[in-house]
Amino acid sequence: MLPNTSICRLVTLSLLAFAPSAFATNAKVLIYSATEDFRHDSIPTAIQALQSKGPSFDIQFETTEDKAQFTDQYLARYDALLFLDNTGEVLDDLGKAALQKYLDLGGNFIGIHAASDCLRNTTFYGHEVGAFFDYHPALQNALQTVDVIDSCHPSTSMLPAQWHVQDEMYNFKSDPRTIGATIILSANESSYIDTGTRLNQGTPHPTAWFQERGAGAESNGTAGRSFYTSLGHLNETWQDELFLAHVFGGITWTLQSNTTLAFNTSAEVGNPSVSVDPTSNSSSTTGTSTSSSSAVISVPPIDVLPLKFMVLSIIAATFFPWLSSFYLGRFVLTAYF
């Protein structure tokens, strides 16, 4: 336990000290919730929860279910695409090509719940998500447990080590670790009944993960970040503050890849209004881009981080320093720079 904790804190602190600690300000994220097979009735609840919390993280969510919107030009305006509960063949060949290009240009990707159950013949999509969904046992009322494997990640740092959830426990067709993903949440297989035959998805059981460089980008492209969580089935889940903190931790982490316009004025994807004026070239800047160049090196303004998290972090840091080094570090950095 102790060595892991120390490594975690060390990594967190050195990242805070030496990385730009950049934060994508005014990020724009496209929620794509088209379905061709099963449709989750929690989709509207999920969209509503994301959109209502977005402003407190400085994120604008836009939505579409229209596959014809998947063009190079349309996608390029977004800092990330969020695939929500998609099932079946939700993109045509033109849309898949535009998605591939977006990922090759450093676009970021977030997949939630059934996002692993679409475009099943599209290898690059499977790599970008991390693995395709295989099956899940019936939703069980008994409390199932999800173990936090990596508590350093912003999507898990606020979770209890053994997190009780009422959700579907997904099994996958392959092990996301084989394409470079890092598992952060794992289903405790003894906390629920699954009589099916699992394929080789690896141990511990993958439930949520991230990819520093999404494996869906081609090798000659610039890969952005990818985050996936298999949780999020029920309306109730989307009304649970802890689940939303997990999801927003994943989204804000994903947006801090350094591959979009918020971090690189020559990048070809990302919300243009935070960065260079599109009518000027990359070395000439306008009023808007002045704030963008500071976005490259600055930490988030103090009001971006919910105040209650900071207060809790300080209290928690006093008593449980291993839990809160991430938030405290952010707070200290914000206060000093």
Ligand X SMILES: *[C@@H]1O[C@H](CO)[C@@H](O)[C@H](O)[C@H]1NC(C)=O
Q: Which residues bind ligand X (CB under 6 A)?
A: 41-42, 44-45, 89, 106, 121, 145, 147, 162, 188, 190-191, 218, 220, 222, 235, 258, 264, 266-268, 281, 283-284
Tell me the C-alpha distance between 7 and 177, whole Å: 20
Residue 160 or 318 having the CB closest to ligand X: 160
Residue 298 or 306 having the CB closest to ligand X: 298
* 8 A C-beta contact, residue 295 and residue 304: no
| Nearest distance from C-beta of residue 42 to ligand X, angstroms | 5
| Nearest distance from C-beta of residue 269 to ligand X, angstroms | 8
Residue at shortest CB range from ligand X:
284
* 8 A C-beta contact, residue 178 and residue 208: no
- Which residue is it, tokens 């000659």? 220
Q: What is the DSSP letter of 222?
A: B
| Nearest distance from C-beta of residue 281 to ligand X, angstroms | 4
Residue 7 or 139 having the CB closest to ligand X: 139
Residue 73 or 283 having the CB closest to ligand X: 283
* 8 A C-beta contact, residue 288 and residue 274: yes
Residue 203 or 281 having the CB closest to ligand X: 281
* 8 A C-beta contact, residue 205 and residue 187: yes
Tell me the C-alpha distance between 59 and 271, whole Å: 11
Residue 2 or 307 having the CB closest to ligand X: 2
CA nearest 97: which of 75, 120, 80?
75
| Nearest distance from C-beta of residue 220 to ligand X, angstroms | 4
Residue 5 or 258 having the CB closest to ligand X: 258
Residue 204 or 306 having the CB closest to ligand X: 204
| Nearest distance from C-beta of residue 5 to ligand X, angstroms | 17
The secondary structure element, H or E, covering residue 84 is strand 80-84
CA nearest 224: which of 105, 112, 98?
105
| Nearest distance from C-beta of residue 56 to ligand X, angstroms | 22
The pair of three-digit structure tokens given for residue 141, joined into one six-digit string: 């009322």
Tell me the C-alpha distance between 4 and 9, whole Å: 9
| Nearest distance from C-beta of residue 19 to ligand X, angstroms | 8
Tell me the C-alpha distance between 282 and 299, whole Å: 22
Count CB atoms within 10 A of the CB of residue 242: 14
Q: Where are the beta strands (DSSP E) in 139-281?
A: 144-148, 162-165, 171-172, 182-187, 206-211, 226-229
| Nearest distance from C-beta of residue 318 to ligand X, angstroms | 27
